[in-house]
Structure formats: structure tokens, C-alpha cells
Structure 1
Amino acid sequence: MKMKTFGVEQWMDEYETAATYNLGETCVSPLSLHALLSLTDTDEQTFTQKMLTTRLTYGNIVGAPELRAGITQLYQNLTPENVVTTHGAIGANSLVLTTLVDPDDEVVVVTPTYQQLQSIPETIGATVRLLALKPENDYLPDIAQLKTLVNDKTKLIVLNNPDNPSGSLMPQEHLQRIIEVAKSVDAYVLCDEVYRHLTQTDTYSPSVIDLYDKGISTSSMSKVFSLAGLRLGWVATHDEAFMKTILSHRDYNTISCGVLDEMVAEVALNHKDTLLKRNRDIVRKNLAILNDWVNSQPHISWVKPQAGTTALLHYDFALPSEQFCDQLFKQTGVLLVPGAEFDIEHALRIGYAFESKELQTGLDKLSEFMTGLN
């Protein structure tokens, strides 16, 4: 089975480990186990003793009951039976797409987005219709265009909210309008919500499954909870028939997630408000830093992100984005992701959710680099 090269992941694989200033990072400043236990006032000796004495067999096949109960608290009107754990959100997306999509189906996918959401349906042989997110629309899906892309063969509409790489966030009214289009052709809506809750305000950001019985949410412990090393995600849906099918398919590639990973995730979700406050404070502080920097740059423009941890920076130099980022890295040690990895040219994806000092220093290095391009 041939698949397209996964552009953004290949770029990160090549450059990330050697970066001095990793401005390509998308997770909020990662936590150690010690830091997590301290932040949540969890007795470290008791917890580590529990880990040391836990037998390393298969865990609960569909996910530890306590963990699934914790995940339900991130949504409205959800039960543990509506949730199954996976190997990260990347595993959740793959499982949903390979379970749901057949070669004769049609799938609508927003672009730019995480390439997996587009490339897997293409590899299956489905007809993939791209719904372009444009800066003039604040990178929100154009409902009129969406209506022209769906028909009675449309099995699935795929969204990413908040969007990676643009940082756009669909308000509930916009999401509801998309759902109405999906209902008109009886389509599922898969929404990769891995950055959900990392908002610039404290208002609740609705999930697609809060609003639609054929909605499917995927997410993980990586971005929002700073625990990417757990490699733990989930699929959530109210559609009982689809959940039954996905559990059958899951036996072929997952069986269960790690028992120790689920124990750590349970602690985090039991103290979700504490972690959300920490991480929202980080992204809000750093977005302000990034906003000030963008406003000082004559060659940079953007649509300011509303949520998540990433932004798209557009530049007016003639240099193609891969060449720009490669030269930047070699001269300064600053890692950015070329817009070309998202099929956008003369643009850069930047992450802003790590340590503020590293962000500011990396931006200063980027400014110096661009001065040399004049």
C-alpha cells in the first residue's frame, strides 16, 4: 500500500533533534512525572509504589474505566461507553478513517490541516474533495463551498478544530452550520480536536459530538495536557453502531493501551482544571509575545490564532518555504515548519506553547535572519 510522504512529520524527524530553538513544537511545555504529581498534589511515594507493583499485562481492552470516566468530563452528556482509548490521536484518526471509509466513498477534508486526515482516505481509494480554509475567511470553512462539495456519496466530512496549522477556532454557530450540511447527506463528521480547550478565553469550546449524533471526536493527552510521551488518545462518539464496528477493527492494531500510561493519564484528568489553567496561561502569555513580534515585522503577516498552539506566518520574500526554513535552521538553529508541508507556499508554521524565553530568543534569531534576506 503506497502512501504519500507525511510532509510535516518527515520535516520534524529530520530537524527536530538537532534544533537549538524548536519553534516547530506543538505541545504545551511537557511535564515530567514528578512535575505532574507535584502540580496535582498527588502523593509521589504512593503513586510510584502503585506503578512499581502493577503487573505489566494487558490493560482493560477498551481503556481503564476510571480513565474513560475522566475523558467524559471533557464533553457534554457523554458516558464511558462512548469512549475507547487509542495510541495517541494519530492512532485514533487512523482507526476512524480505516474503519469508516471505503474505496467508493467520497470524503470532504479541510485544508490546510494535519496531512493524515487527507492522505489516509486517498490511500484507501476514496474520492477526497478539499475544502480550502482561506485567510480572508479567518481560516474558517466556507459553508457555501462545502455545500457544493457534498452529495449522496459523501460518507464523511473531516474537520480539525482548532485547526493545525492556522489556529482558527470554529464557534458553535459555525460548527452547527457544518453539521446541518452533513445531515442533508447523512454524513458522519470526524473532528480532530487534539487542541480543543487551549483557548484564549475561558468559555467552553463545544465538541462536534456535543452537537451531532453522527459526530466523531478524536483527541489525546499530548497537546492539551503536556503528556505526549504517554502516546495515549481516544475516539468518542454517540453513534453506537459505529462504536461497535470500531471496536472490532481496533482488535487488529491496538488490543489495549499501556496500563502505566493510563494510570498517569487518569491523574491528569482527575485534575484537569489545574492542568488547563497552567497550559492556558502558557499559550496566552506566549501568543501575546508572538503577536507583538508579528506587529514589529514588515515582511510578516498572519491571521491571529484563536486557539491551539500553532500559527501560520506569511512572508513576502521570494524564497520558497522549504529553502527558507532550511537556511534558517543551518544559520541560527531555529526550527520552523515550511508551509509547503501543508501545501501552502511562502508561509511558515510556528508553535508557541513552550518556554517563553526560548520563544522570544527564537523570534529574535528569526528577525536577524530575515534582515539578511533584504
Structure 2
Amino acid sequence: MRIKDFAVERYFAKYEFTAKYLLSSSDCDGYGMDYVLGLASDSEKQLWENLKLGYTETVGSEFLRVAIKQHYETIQLDEILVASPGEANFILMNVLLNAGDHVVCMAPMYQSLYQVAKDIGCNISYWQPKIEQGRWYYNPSDLKSLIQDNTKLIIVNFPHNPTGFSPSVDEFKYIIELAQQRGIAIFSDEMYRFLNHGCSALPSASDLYENAISLWGTAKTFGLAGLRLGWLTSKNKQLLRRVESFKDYLSICSSAPSEVLGTIALNHMESFVEPNLAKIKDNISNFQQFHQRNFELFDFPKPVSGSTAFVKLNIKESSMEFAERLVMDTGIMILPSELFEYGTSHIRIGFGRKNMPEVLNLLESYLK
């Protein structure tokens, strides 16, 4: 299978470890080992101290799946499959879809959520947002109009990267019903789960619909991207077994240390989510004040969830030209909307980094 380059990740590869400041990161600052292990219970410390660097179960070690299960309403241990998030997405698309299938996906979107389907040969319709009352909004009625007789999969991502949109609980249930009435599978990317700061947290799609597959992990919610740990949950056990078999050709199993550290995080979730949310809220406030002082330069649709916003530049050059000039002149890296295949006038802003006030001060001086 030939697949198109992942534009956002290629851009990060170019600048992430050389640029001095990152203003577009979707993850929060990573927690240190001492912080994670300092939260561990006696039994969790034993897991860590007795750790052997051998293979783990393909589906994920039982102690990890027990820790995952507590954050769902109906999901059982055999309805959980552990994998790196990108790997899980790649495998799912390959076992679920065939050339000619119709897929509905949000736009703009993290590229892997549609690119794999596209390169398999699927036909894709994009659910586009509008600005309503100063915020990004995806109207479920627009989604309904995109569904065709041969629609095989609907792909959603809430909280949404990059816009920060989340539907109401009732709207989310309506989206589920649209798929359920037609027997369409839903792939629900829930990587930013519980990072809600202006709306209610949503239930997992996998708890609401037997043909929904949900993806979650430690990178965004927990600020533990370095664990490379994620999981799929679904009532569709047959589909999960197909994903498991495909995984034998890729990672086979997860990292043993990551499974223990991930278990500690899941068992002490509030100690990760609460500081991350506090940081995100503070930075949104900082960015609002920055916007008020520079309102003529860009529009700021305030996000209600997640750790990112998608803002429109009111300047003469393209967002890519501005991004390249900015990183060269100041060391500040931003993601232009060209990388999301969404025009030439938006950029993504990330609110999960402690140094955001410092970066905004530098940016403001540069803009003047």
C-alpha cells in the first residue's frame, strides 16, 4: 500500500526539535517519571519494581485493561485492544474498509483519520464546519445529508483537533443514531477525552453503539505522549480480533514499561487531567487577552474542549508563508492550515504548554 506523506508530522519533523518555541502543539507538557511513579500505590510500585522487559500480551496486559475498563460504562476486558494510537487507526481502516466504500469524515482533520481510507481507495465526503456565534460548529444535519446508501464508516473526533469543537451530549447521541439506524460503523477518535472546559464531557461512542469503535490513549488527556500507548474499545469483538491479528505484522505488542506507567496514570487520572485543564484554561485566557490587543490580525473562535484552536489570519500572505517567516525570524513554530488541507488562511494554536505567555510576548513584539 502506497500512502501519502503525513503533512503535519513531516512539518513537525522539520521544526519540532529545532525551533525554540512551539505554539501549535496539541499535547500538554509531558510529565516526568518522578511525578508518575510518585503517584503509584504499593501494588503499582511492585509492578514497576518487578518489571521484566519481555513481550506483553498482544491485546494488552490484563492489569492495564482493568485500569482502562474503569473509565467506561459498559466495556468489558475482552472489548479492549491496546496499541499505539496511530497503529490502531491504520489497522482499523485496513480491516474495515475496501476500495469503493463510502466514508464520511470531518474536515479539517488529523490527516491519518482520512488519508488511510483515501489511499485504500474509499470515496470520502467531508463534514465541514461553520462559524456560529463566534465559535466553530459542526451541524449534525449537515452530516446527515452526506450519508449515502453505501456509506460504510463515519469518522468523528471529539474534542476536535484542531477547532476545539464538541457537540452537546444530545447532538452526539443524534450522530450515533444516524449511524445506528443505517448499520454504519462509527470510528470515534477520543484522544482528547475529558479535556472539556466549556462544555460537558461526552460518553464514549463505544458505550452507546455496538458498531462504534473508540480510540483513546495517554498522549493528549494525560500529557504522556512518550508512552506511545493507546487502545480501541468496541462491542464488536469480531472486528477487534481482526485488528489483533493484523497487529502481529506491526508492533505485535506494547512496551512493557509503558503499560505499567499507563496503568498508574489511568488509576490516578485526576492528577493528570486537572493540572492539564488548569493550564489549558489559563492559556486560553492569555490568548484571549492577546487577541483583544491584536484583534485586527486574526479571528479567534474560542474552543470549548481539547487543547487547540483554529484561528483565521487577516493578513496578506498565506498561513504557510507566515509560518515559515515566523519560525525563521523568531524560532516560534506554528502549524499552517495548508497542512490540514484547509485553505491558506488559518493556523492551529496549542494551549497545553506552560511557556505560552512567554511565546505570546515574543510574538506580540515581533508583530509590532
Q: Specify if TM > 0.5.
A: yes
**Among 142, 147, 163, which residue is 1:145 paired with?**
142
Asked if the contact 1:312/1:350 (under 8 Å) is kept, the reply is yes
Match of 1:318 in 2: 316
Residue of structure 1 in register with 2:29 after alignment: 29
- For 1:223, which of 211, 216, 220 is the aligned residue? 220
Deviation at 1:343, TM superposition (A): 2.0
Deviations 1:320-351 (A, max 9, x none): 11110010111111111011111232111011
Question: Quick check: 1:216–1:235 contact (8 Å CA) kept in 2?
Answer: yes
Kept in 1, the 8 Å contact 2:193–2:201? The answer is: no
Please show how residues 151-166 of structure 1 align to structure 2 within 5 Å. Answer: 151-166=148-163
* Structure 1 residue 27, shift from structure 2 partner: 1.2
2: distance between equivalents of 1:124 and 1:292? 45
Secondary structure of the structure 2 residue equivalent to 1:17 = coil
Match of 2:2 in 1: 2
- Which region of structure 1 is more displaced relative to structure 2, 237-246 or 104-113? 237-246
* Percent of paired sites with the same residue: 28
How far the C-alpha of 1:269 sits from its partner, in A, is 0.9
Measured after TM superposition, the shift of residue 42 of structure 1 is: 4.8
DSSP-derived class of the 1:168 partner: coil
Aligned CA RMSD, in angstroms, stands at: 1.9
**Which of residues 271, 274, 279 in structure 1 aligns to 2:271?**
274
- CA 1:201–1:348 in structure 2 vs 1: closer, same or farther (change >3 Å)? closer
The correspondence of residues 122-271 of structure 1 with structure 2, limited to 5 A, is 122-136=118-132, 138-200=135-197, 203-271=200-268
Alignment match, 2:339: 341
2:289 equivalent in structure 1: 292
Matched, 1:57 2:68: no
The whole-number CA distance in structure 2 between the counterparts of 1:148 and 1:215 is 20
* Counterpart position of 1:99: 95
Q: Which 10-residue stretch deviates more, 204-213 or 170-179?
A: 204-213
Letter in structure 2 aligned against 1:300: F
Distance 1:54 1:147 in 2: 49
> In the alignment, what sits opposite 1:20?
20
Q: Across the two proteins, how many residue pairs are aligned to each other?
A: 365
* 2:82 alignment partner, SS class: strand
Amino acid in the other structure paired with 1:218: L
- Aligned equivalents of 1:119 and 1:21: distance in 2? 29
CA contact (8 A) 2:65 2:77 kept: yes
Q: Given the two structures, how large is their TM-score scaled by the length of structure 1?
A: 0.92
Cα offset, 1:61, TM superposition: 2.1
Q: Offset at 1:144?
A: 2.6
TM-score, normalising length from structure 2? Answer: 0.94
Letter of the 2:348 partner, please give it.
R
- Segments of structure 1 that go 5 or more residues without pairing to the other structure are none
SS state at 2:127 partner: strand
> Which has the larger displacement, 294-303 or 263-272?
294-303
Preserved CA contact (<8 Å) 2:168 2:199: no
Alpha carbons of 1:196 and 1:127: their partners in 2 closer, same or farther (altered >3 Å)?
Answer: same
Give the C-alpha shift of residue 203 in structure 1: 4.6
Question: Does structure 2 retain, via aligned residues, the 8 Å contact 1:83–1:237?
Answer: yes
1:227 deviates by: 1.0
In structure 1, the partner of 2:74 is 77
Partner SS, residue 136 of structure 2: coil
Following superposition, the deviation at residue 15 of structure 1 comes to 0.8
Contact 1:85 1:234 in 2 (8 A): yes
Aligned partners of 1:23, 1:37: CA distance in 2, in Å? Answer: 29
Contact 1:110-1:158 within 8 A present in 2 as well: yes
1:306 aligned partner, one-letter code: V
> Contact conserved, 2:159 with 2:193, CA < 8 A, in 1?
yes
Instruction: Report deviation, 1:114.
Output: 0.3
